Amino acid sequence: MEAPDRNLALDLVRVTEAAALSSARWLGRGDKNAGDQAAVDAMRLSFDTINIAGVIVIGEGEKDEAPMLYGGEEVGTGTGPAMDVAVDPVEGTRLLAYGRPNAISVVGVAPRGSMFDPGPSFYMQKLVVPSAARDAVDLDAPVADNLKAVAKALSKDVDDLVVFVLDKPRHQQLIADIRTAGARIQLHTDGDVAGSLMALDPKDMVDVMMGTGGTPEGVLSACAIRAVGGQMFARLDPQSDSERQNLLDSGVDLKRVLTAEELVTSPDTFFAATGISGGTWLEGVSFSGSGAVTHSLVLRGKTGTMRRIESHHTWDKLMRFSAVKYD
């Protein structure tokens, strides 16, 4: 037996809340860069209060374009555990810019050296399923076979299933195959971290996520998968000749199938996500004249605990000491 120790995810949620509160001011205003920058600035300031010696493995921007939370940047106070950090200050910048649902702010953390470094990879093929189906699917199997296997594992019929797919030209054949198999589809323009989490959440109508999305988003999703179960099967899937050549020059095996356990090798993960634009899965930021309400998901790998947190922020108190100007 162990005495309860510190749940770092409960500190990280303050980071995603800060990013969500700041970026939500840009909801529907058509400027995705401004919304993203607001989230980055708030996230960086909030990380300065977290007692970790963190290094960003999954970030955004380049060092010469700082402040952008670039790969290799050190975050946290420098004291406490040495951790790998994955961030997406706004997952779904276009969703935010156009006022569409499911833009979220996300942070994942795991012990130093445990996160997969995507290097020059931008895209990967993914198949995400809940715990009951983790041993039932194969990334190389036909779409119809995987859907039958998921349906059987979940005690459903194939036509009961809902599949999350990004609405991209590269998925035309995948969409056709899913429809031929008889399953239903939710098409989303962006947001495959949210899609992975929907597939894991028994309260959400999504049962499985399929298709090619971002490699950094895959590692972020793996932090959550390690915490709550389920499985991701993934393979690097370059979408341009230059990306393919860079991966080959790096000695990457483009045929290798990666699991969540290989994307994040430690089970001791921490994950936090806060809704920005809202949606059926995670509500967004709601402002009033005196404050705001945020809704977050917090996960801890060691215990498998999932928390949903509704936070009420009051400007007249918060702004007395906050370095982030929310109002």
- 159 annotated ligand binder: no
Alpha carbons 13 and 48: distance in angstroms, whole number: 14
Tokens of 299: 């996960």
- 2 annotated ligand binder: no
Bridge partners, 91 (sequence order) = 104
Alpha carbons 49 and 165: distance in angstroms, whole number: 37
- 36 annotated ligand binder: yes
Do the Cβ atoms of 272 and 231 come closer than 8 Å?
Answer: no
Alpha carbons 204 and 194: distance in angstroms, whole number: 11
Task: Give the DSSP H/E element, type plus range, for residue 129.
Answer: strand 123-129
- Which of 96, 109, 127 lies closest to 21 in space, CA to CA? 96
- 123 annotated ligand binder: yes
- 74 annotated ligand binder: no
What does the buried/exposed string (b/e) look like for 153-182 if buried means 16 or more CB atoms within 10 Å of the residue's CB?
bbeeebeebebbbbebeebeebbebbeebe
Q: Is 265 helix (H, G, I), strand (E, B) or coil?
A: coil
- 62 annotated ligand binder: no
**Cα-flanking dihedrals φ and ψ of residue 247, to 5°?**
-70, -45
* Residue 175: alpha-carbon gap to chain centroid: 23
- 157 annotated ligand binder: no
- 88 annotated ligand binder: yes
Alpha carbons 161 and 157: distance in angstroms, whole number: 7
Contacts of 296 (CB under 8 A, 6+ apart): 13, 16, 17, 272, 273, 274, 275, 282, 308, 309, 311
- 60 annotated ligand binder: yes
Alpha carbons 168 and 213: distance in angstroms, whole number: 10
- 92 annotated ligand binder: yes
- 241 annotated ligand binder: no
- 214 annotated ligand binder: yes
- 72 annotated ligand binder: no
List residues forming the annotated binding site. 36, 60, 88, 91-93, 123, 168-170, 190-192, 214, 217
List residues forming the annotated binding site for substrate. 91-93, 123, 168-170, 190-192, 214
List residues forming the annotated binding site for Mn(2+). 36, 60, 88, 91, 217
